[in-house]
Structure 1
Amino acid sequence: MSGPATSPDREEISSPGSSISHAWRALRHRNFKLFFFGQSISVIGNWMTRLATTWLVYHLTHSALLLGIVSFAGQIVSFALGPFAGVWVERLHRRNLLVSTQAAAAIQSLAMAALTLAHVITLWEIIALTALQGVINAFDMPARQSFLVQMVDDRNDLSNAIAINSSMANGARLIGPAIAGLVVAAFGEGGCFLIDGLSYFAVIASLLLMRIKPQDLRRSKANMFEQIREGWDYVSGFRPIRTILLLFSLISLMGYSWSVLLPIFAAQVLHGGVTTLGWLMGAAGIGALTSAISLAFRKSVVGLTRMLQVASGMLGVALILFGLSHTLWLSIVLMVFVGFGMLQAASASNTIIQSLVPEDKRARAMSYYTMAFFGSAPFGSLFAGALADRIGASHTVMVTGTFCIAGSLWFTLELPKVNAVIRPIYRKMGLLPARDIDAMPDVQEPAL
C-alpha cells in the first residue's frame, strides 16, 4: 500500500490557512466526503441510543452488575464472530456489506423504539437486541475500517481520513448525549431509539451515492479456517501489531469500563440524574473530539507510537482522579481527559495498524482490532459491574486506571523493539520523508 514518497527537499508551507486545509485533506475525496456527512448524522443517533440504553437499564434494575451484563451481551458476540467476520469481509464487496449492516442496525434500533414506546420492553429483550447489534457490529466494523482505503484514493491521506472519522464520531459523542438527555426527559428513552433508527438511512444513502471502482475479490483456495489461521499467524507473529493489539486490549478491558458505571456516578456519587449523565458523557466527548482534531492536524504517522504510550498513561491517571472526585465540575473536567486519552489510544492504534498491514490481510487484521475492543470490553464491563457491587463505582475506576498505567509502562519497555521493526518498513513503503524518519526521537534503533 505504498504511496508517493514526499520529497525531503520540499519546503513545507506552515501558514494557518494551509494547516487548516491540510487537516481536512481527506474530504477532497468525493466518496469519503459522502461517507463523512452520512455517518455524522447516524453516529449522533448511535450516541443517543448508548445513553438511552444505559439509563433505561439503570431505571429498570438499579444494578451496576446488570449494566455490565447488558454491555457484555453485545460485545461478546462481536468478539466471538470476529475471526470469521474478517474472512467474510475479504470475500464480499464491502460497500454492499455495509449497506446490509446499516439496514440491519436500523431495524434493530426501530425494534427497541417500538418496544420502549409501547412500555412493554423488559431486560431480556434489551439483552437480546443488544446481542443482535453485536452480530451486526462484528461485520460492520472491519468492513468499515477496511473500506476507508477504497474511499480515499491517495493512501497518504489514509491516516487523515482515520483522524477525521474519529473527529466525526466524537463530535457526535458530544452532541448525541446532550440531545438524548433532552429527548429522554421529554419523550422517554424510546424517542432516542426512534431517532437512531431513522438516522441509519443517511449512511445508506451516502453509500449508494458513492462511485466505487470495481473491487478485485481474489477467491482464496484456502478454506475459512485456514484463512483465520493465516490472519492469526500474521497479527501474532508481527511484533508491532501484536504489541499494539495487546496494549489496546488492556485499554479496552480496563480503560473503557468506566462508561458502564457512569449512571452510578451520576445518580449516587454526584447525586444527579439523566442530565448529569449527559454532562459526563458530553465532557468525555469534548476530550475525544479534541484528540481527534489534534490527530487530523498531524502531517504524518511520525510519533504515533509515543503518543499511544502517553495516552494510555493519561487515561489511567484521569480515571484514578475521577474515582476520587465527588464534585460535579471536577468530575466533568476529568472526563475530558478520560475521553482524550481513550480516543488517542484507539485512533493511534488504528492508524499504525492500517499503515503497516498489507491489503490482502487488511480486513482480517482490522477484525482483530475489532476483537481487541469488543473482546476485552465485555469482560471489562462484567468485571467493573461485579467489582462495583462489592467495593463501589469510585474504587472500581481507580483499580481500572491503575491497570492502564501499568499497560503504559509495559509498552514503554516494548517501544524500542517495536519502532526498530516499523522504521525500515515505513522507509521502504515511502509513507514518510526520509528526513522525518531520521529525525524521529522515538524510533531510534536500540543500541546493541
Structure 2
Amino acid sequence: MKIAVIGSTHAGTAAVTNMANLYPDADITVYERNDNVSFLSCGLALYVGGVVKDPQGLFYSSPEELQKLGVTMKMQHDVEGIDTTNQTITATNLVTGETVHDAYDKLVMTTGSWPITPPIEGINLDNILLAKNFTQANTIIERTKDVERVTVVGAGYIGVELVEAFEKAGKQVTLIDGADRILNKYLDPEFTDIVEKDFTDRGITLAMNETVQRFEGTEGSVTKVFTNQGEYETDLVIMCVGFRPNTDLLKGKVDMLPNGAIKVDEYMQTSDPAIFSAGDCCAVKYNPTGEHAYIPLATNAVRMGTLAARNLMQPTVKHVGTQGTSGLHIYDLNMASTGLTETSAQLLNTHVKSITIEDTHRPGFMPTAENVQLKVSFDPATHRILGAQVISKADVTQSINTMSVCIQSGMTMEELGYVDFFFQPHFNQPWNFINKAGLQAAL
C-alpha cells in the first residue's frame, strides 16, 4: 500500500508517526514545502520575546526522526497538482527545480493554513511581515532589533501575544483591529476589558474598530499605516488578521466549507474515499452546535492526525468533536475559554443564557487569594452547558478543560452544581467556583 502525506506540521507529523507504527509494510511518502516539521507556532511569540531561548524546543520531531521510522521524506517539495481520478501527485523540488510524479492508494491532506493577507495598498512594502512558521519568526526577531515602533494588525491570540513581547522589549506598540475589542472570538467584553486596560496602562496604543486602508513607505520600507480613522507611524508591521485553510489543491474535488476548509466525517475521511484530512486545512464537528466549523488549533490537529492514521484502513475510532478549547497567558493574567461565548453565539444565531461567578480562587484566610471571574453559557431550554470563560491572576485555567469535558458529555447546569470536586485551602474553596455557577443557574 502506498500512502502519500502532504504537509507535516502538527496533523501531518501525528499521522505519519502513527501510520509508520500501525502499517509497517506501507510505503509512506511525505511532501513538505519547508525544511522542518512539527514547528509549534503557538510558541512563536515566546520565541520572539526571548522567553524560549533554544528554538529547537519548538520542534517535537524532525525529518531525520521520521526517516528512522521508514518514511520517505521529500522536504522542500511543493505539491502543485493532485489527480484524484488516477490518484497521482505532481510536485516540484524547490531546491533543484525537478518535477516529481507519484501515485497513492491513500492520500492524507495535512496542508494546514496560511496567514490571510488582505489586498491592501502597499502591503508588499519591506518590513510588513507574517507570523506563522519558523522562518517568519526568525525574520521578525532580526527585523525588530533596530526598530522603535511596531504595529500589529489583528487582535487574536498571536497578535496579542506579540504585542506583549514587543512591549516588554521596549518598543512603542500599536494594535489595530477592525473589531470593537481584542480577542473577540474567544472572550466576552467583561473579560477583554480587563486585558485592554492592562495594555493601555502599559502605554500600548489600541486602535479598535479601525480597518487598515493602506501602507505608505520611503525607500521601499513601511513608515505609516493608514486606517479608516487615522494614521500611525511605524517601523515594522506584523500582519495577524487570521488564517485560511491551504486547500486549493483539492478545490472542487472534495466537499468543503465556503471558506475552503475540507469537510471530514467522524473518521477523518473526506467525500473522496481515498483521501483523509486533518488539522488546520479542514473543518471539524463543533459540539456546542453539532455543525462543522473551522477551528485551527494545534490540539485539534494532533488529535485529527492521529485519528486519520487509525482509520486509514477501516473505520476504527470516531472523532468526538471539539469545543475549541484554548488558553492564554498575558502579563499577569491567565485566561481560557471553551465552546460558545455570548458573542460567538450571537454570530451563530444561537440563543444562550449565561451565569457569571466572581470569587477568590482559595479562602480569604490564606496569605493570598486572587479574584476569579467565571462565565458559563448554557441552553436556556435544556440547561445543557455550551461554553465557559475564566480569567484570573491565579492559574485556574484547568477549570476550562473541566468545562470542555462537561460540554462534550452533554452535562446540564444542575448537574454541574453537584459535581464532586476536592477541597484543599491551598488550591480552592469548599464550594468550587465551577459548582457555584451550576448552583446559581438552578436558583
Q: Do Structure 1 and Structure 2 share a fold, with TM-score over 0.5?
A: no
Answer 1 or 2: which has greater strand percent.
2
**Which one has a bigger Cα radius of gyration?**
2
Q: TM-score range by the shorter chain?
A: under 0.3
Greater RCO structure (CA 8 Å; 6+ sep):
1
State the TM-score, normalizing by the size of structure 1.
0.26
